[in-house]
């Protein structure tokens, strides 16, 4: 294997050199000659009828070269939902059209209804102000219960309801679950809110459209987590541009967290405008536009019941959730609250009965879609909060109650009552590790110390499992996905022995440029620095499905592995030819091919050169060149799991919560780069703590986003966070992918919110306050209000 930098090494991220020295190249850094600038007119009302839009004055403004309204796109397609969900009665979900620009109605504050293209951005913004839009403000609906009850106020008049679907999982388990709960000795019930989050990637969205009239080729440079999917959506659904005439390129991207998975109307608009003007068209989102128009996350209102025996043995979980999808269906908005949520509602537990009902609701708010964790944080929060409450009601230690119901190591593969087959795990080992690393035994002493300072100390425990490495196509197809979820890689060994690896995954913070070469270097026995990852440009890479759902290494990394296996197989043929022996007599180790039992050997580099200078080549049995592609479609999700502990101090006078410690024990299977994995967990923990304590996308009843800027939307900062303890040494390999890896990108954001809230409730309970639950964000004002009834 590679002496340094192969699998398992904490290799420093090579891409950080350019990021940290200001040499990253993001979409907005790219300004082709003759670029024009685009600004959007966005609705200031949450629900309104567009009577007319007079753009004549705007069109006459200095520098303006074009003005577009929804009318210009009335005949093109809508931006589709990528996942078909059927309601319990068999009816397909309601799918109102999501147009490029609002047409006829505006449906949320920030809904774009016109666009101006001008020579400068300032001119475009000036002209937007000159657009005379006659829009009748209508009553808005932002609260989900109101939206379901009140059919006088509709987000989409043509569907006659605000309910997108009413989904049951698993519908056949409904009666048995109801019966089990009815007859159970103990039932714990909890009503909770999973707060809406605004993603706030550091780099706002940006899109540049170009058109070459000589060839008819379009080029879209854009902030995307998955350029091929964006190309497919634009080609097949929205604009009808042939896929082979459209290149989508996502260069360096400054964070996505889900919000850049989706195709947005701005991308279609800059392409259409570029063709009309025969000039490049650039749009860069302001932070304000990002708040109003990026797809938000979470936003569930849930009732969960846990039925158990008196001894704490779980009998059933029953969940009723309303999931906000906002004003339009974003691409994965229907999958997130259903198959990424309902299928996880058995957690880590041997519970026999699980039933989940999810009603997806249209409201006059920004669209809601997958955000780091996507459904699994919602599932974990509901489960682990109600389990904590049950432990208190039953008088059982929260660790003991979880352990009592854990799936045991000898039960894998385990078919959960929510329809998934977990391949591997060892939850007791994680909990054993947690007890040590978090020093649970020492908690009481620390609590007494806090009490001396007038602080209430609490301990929160959590166990999670999640399903990620989003795939396999066969399974998601059955579940309603309209796309496949494989991934692809091409390994190109160049004549001089260095290697280009073209991957379908997209790196926007995950460190692929470092981690993927570690896999290849390990297999080929070459220097990882001789391997370059190429990603993000549909004209250069094979058709992959991008990066989200903690899938890059598990799915695309496995494609890289498979393609590298093919390279070794072919290189062995060439080596055998060079050494004049049979391939089956040739071994490949540490970058050298050798004939067994002889001292004949050739290096990998010599074989690479020979592949491209095929003099004296047996062309009837070996093609020249050394380049292989693999498409990899896994057999199952991967199932990372973890046990987390958090200690907090609550100031009972102000309600302020300080996190004293956060310990994350995760099972990610085999780990390729432990430093990158630790960083991923740390980032996830920060986002999870942000959700638990700080972040809240909150609309008023008129549909105005009250927390619409960083002055009111609280992002976590370094001093909000403790020093994290991150440990992924308690690993069980994934059984079905060739690297044995499980996804790690979302775990921290999935595991931490219930851990924090459990700790706060524990602190208040131990402090003598009768508080069962506080909704997130657990702000000082909410804690104080809870303490003071």
**Positions in the binding site for other proteins (CB under 8 A):** 122, 125, 288, 653-656, 693-694, 696, 698, 706-707, 710-715, 779-781, 784-785
What 3-state DSSP class applies to 662? strand
Q: Give the pair of three-digit tokens for residue 690.
A: 């942000």
Residue 447's DSSP bridge partners are: none
Query: What is the rounded CA–CA span in Å between residue 622 and residue 378?
Result: 53
Question: With respect to other proteins, which residue has the nearer C-beta, 723 or 788?
Answer: 788
Minimum CB–partner distance for residue 712 and other proteins (Å): 5
Minimum CB–partner distance for residue 172 and other proteins (Å): 43
Strand duo 246-249 + 186-194: pairing:
unpaired
Three-point CA angle 164, 198, 125, nearest 5° = 100
Minimum CB–partner distance for residue 714 and other proteins (Å): 4
> Strand order in 724-727's β-sheet?
456-465, 641-650, 657-667, 724-727
Minimum CB–partner distance for residue 143 and other proteins (Å): 15
Query: What is the rounded CA–CA span in Å between residue 233 and residue 219?
Result: 14
Question: With respect to other proteins, which residue has the nearer C-beta, 556 or 705?
Answer: 705
Question: With respect to other proteins, which residue has the nearer C-beta, 132 or 623?
Answer: 132
Question: With respect to other proteins, which residue has the nearer C-beta, 34 or 287?
Answer: 287
Minimum CB–partner distance for residue 124 and other proteins (Å): 13
Minimum CB–partner distance for residue 695 and other proteins (Å): 9
Minimum CB–partner distance for residue 370 and other proteins (Å): 24
Minimum CB–partner distance for residue 700 and other proteins (Å): 9
Angle of helix 558-578 versus helix 512-524 axis, rounded to 10:
30
b/e burial code for range 88-100 (CB count within 10 A of at least 16 → b): eeeeebbbbebbb
Minimum CB–partner distance for residue 713 and other proteins (Å): 6
Three-point CA angle 236, 237, 239, nearest 5° = 90
Question: With respect to other proteins, which residue has the nearer C-beta, 52 or 453?
Answer: 453
Question: With respect to other proteins, which residue has the nearer C-beta, 512 or 696?
Answer: 696
CB atoms within 10 A of CB 38: 26
Q: Give the pair of three-digit tokens for residue 97.
A: 């059209």
CB atoms within 10 A of CB 215: 8
Question: With respect to other proteins, which residue has the nearer C-beta, 635 or 715?
Answer: 715
Q: Are 467 and 340 in contact (CB under 8 A)?
A: yes
Query: What is the rounded CA–CA span in Å between residue 652 and residue 171?
Result: 45
Residue 593's DSSP bridge partners are: 588, 602
Closest to 775 in 3D by CA, of 144, 336, 148, 196: 196
Question: With respect to other proteins, which residue has the nearer C-beta, 298 or 376?
Answer: 298
Residue with tokens 């300004």: 31
Query: What is the rounded CA–CA span in Å between residue 145 and residue 126?
Result: 40
Question: With respect to other proteins, which residue has the nearer C-beta, 400 or 785?
Answer: 785
Question: With respect to other proteins, which residue has the nearer C-beta, 653 or 701?
Answer: 653
Phi (first) and psi of residue 127, to 5 degrees? -70, -35
Minimum CB–partner distance for residue 119 and other proteins (Å): 15
Query: What is the rounded CA–CA span in Å between residue 647 and residue 359?
Result: 35
């Amino acid at each position: 294997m590679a002496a340094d930098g192969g699998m398992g090494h904490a290799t420093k991220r090579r891409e950080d050199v350019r990021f940290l020295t200001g040499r990253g190249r993001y979409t907005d850094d790219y300004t082709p000659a003759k670029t024009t600038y685009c600004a959007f007119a966005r609705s200031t009302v949450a629900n309104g009828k567009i009577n007319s839009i007079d753009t004549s004055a705007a069109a006459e403004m200095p520098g303006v070269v074009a003005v577009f309204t929804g009318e210009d796109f009335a005949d093109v397609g809508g931006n589709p939902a990528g996942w078909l969900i059927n309601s319990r009665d068999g009816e397909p979900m309601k799918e109102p059209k999501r147009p490029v620009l609002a047409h006829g109605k505006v449906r949320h504050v920030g809904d774009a209804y016109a666009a101006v293209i001008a020579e400068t951005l300032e001119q475009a913004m000036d002209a937007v102000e000159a657009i005379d839009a006659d829009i009748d403000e209508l009553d808005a609906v932002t609260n989900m219960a109101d939206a379901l009850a009140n059919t006088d106020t509709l987000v989409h008049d043509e569907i006659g309801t605000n309910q997108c679907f009413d989904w049951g999982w698993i519908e056949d388990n409904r009666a048995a679950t109801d019966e089990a709960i009815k007859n159970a000795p103990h039932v714990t019930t909890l009503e909770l809110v999973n707060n809406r989050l605004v993603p706030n990637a550091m780099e706002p969205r940006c899109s540049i459209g170009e058109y070459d009239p000589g060839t008819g080729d379009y080029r879209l440079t854009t902030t995307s987590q998955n350029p091929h999917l964006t190309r497919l959506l634009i080609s097949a659904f929205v604009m009808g541009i042939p896929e082979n005439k459209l290149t989508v390129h996502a260069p360096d991207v400054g964070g996505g967290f889900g919000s850049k998975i989706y195709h947005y109307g701005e991308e279609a608009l800059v392409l259409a405008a570029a063709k009309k003007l025969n000039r490049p068209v650039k749009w860069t989102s302001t932070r304000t536009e990002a708040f109003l128009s990026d797809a938000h996350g979470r936003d569930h209102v849930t009732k969960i019941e846990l039925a158990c025996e008196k001894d704490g043995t779980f009998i059933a979980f029953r969940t009723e959730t309303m999931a906000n999808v906002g004003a339009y269906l974003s691409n994965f908005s229907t999958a997130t609250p259903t198959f990424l949520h309902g299928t996880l509602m058995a957690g880590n537990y041997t519970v026999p009965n699980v039933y989940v009902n999810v009603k997806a609701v249209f409201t006059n708010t920004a669209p809601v879609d997958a955000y780091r964790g996507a459904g699994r944080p919602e599932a974990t929060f509901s489960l682990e909060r109600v389990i904590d409450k049950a432990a208190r009601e039953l008088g059982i230690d929260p660790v003991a109650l979880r352990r009592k119901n854990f799936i045991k190591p000898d039960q894998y593969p385990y078919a959960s009552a929510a329809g998934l087959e977990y391949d591997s795990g060892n939850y007791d080992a994680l909990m054993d590790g947690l007890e040590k690393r978090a020093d649970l035994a020492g908690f009481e002493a620390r609590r007494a110390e806090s009490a001396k300072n007038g602080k209430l100390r609490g301990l929160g425990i959590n166990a999670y499992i999640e399903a990620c490495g989003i795939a396999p196509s066969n399974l998601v197809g059955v579940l309603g996905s309209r796309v496949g979820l494989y991934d692809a890689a091409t390994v190109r060994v160049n004549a001089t022995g260095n290697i280009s690896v073209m991957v379908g995954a997209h790196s926007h913070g995950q460190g692929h440029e470092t981690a993927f070469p570690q896999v290849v270097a390990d297999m080929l026995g070459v220097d990882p620095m001789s391997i370059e990852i190429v990603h993000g440009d549909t004209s250069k890479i094979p058709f992959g499905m991008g990066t989200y759902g903690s899938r890059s290494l598990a799915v695309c990394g496995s494609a890289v592995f498979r393609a590298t296996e093919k390279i070794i197989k072919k290189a062995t043929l060439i080596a055998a030819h060079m050494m004049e022996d049979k391939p089956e007599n040739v071994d490949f180790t540490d970058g050298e091919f050798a004939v067994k039992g002889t001292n004949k050997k050739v290096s990998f580099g010599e074989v690479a050169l020979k592949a491209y200078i095929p003099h004296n080549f047996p062309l009837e049995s070996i093609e020249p060149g050394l380049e292989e592609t693999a498409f990899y479609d896994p057999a199952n999700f991967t199932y990372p799991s973890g046990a987390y502990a958090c200690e907090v101090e609550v100031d009972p006078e102000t309600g302020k919560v300080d996190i004293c410690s956060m310990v994350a024990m995760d099972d990610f299977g085999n780990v390729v780069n432990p430093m990158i994995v630790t960083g991923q967990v740390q980032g996830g923990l920060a986002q999870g703590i942000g959700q638990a304590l700080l972040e809240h996308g909150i609309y008023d009843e008129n549909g105005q986003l009250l927390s619409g800027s960083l002055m009111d939307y609280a992002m976590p900062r370094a001093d909000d966070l403790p020093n994290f303890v991150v440990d992924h040494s308690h690993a069980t390999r994934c059984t079905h992918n060739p690297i044995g890896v499980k996804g790690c990108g979302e775990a921290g954001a999935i595991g931490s919110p219930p851990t924090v809230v459990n700790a706060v409730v524990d602190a208040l309970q131990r402090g003598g306050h009768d508080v069962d639950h506080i909704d997130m964000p657990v702000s000082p004002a909410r804690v104080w209000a809870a303490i003071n009834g």
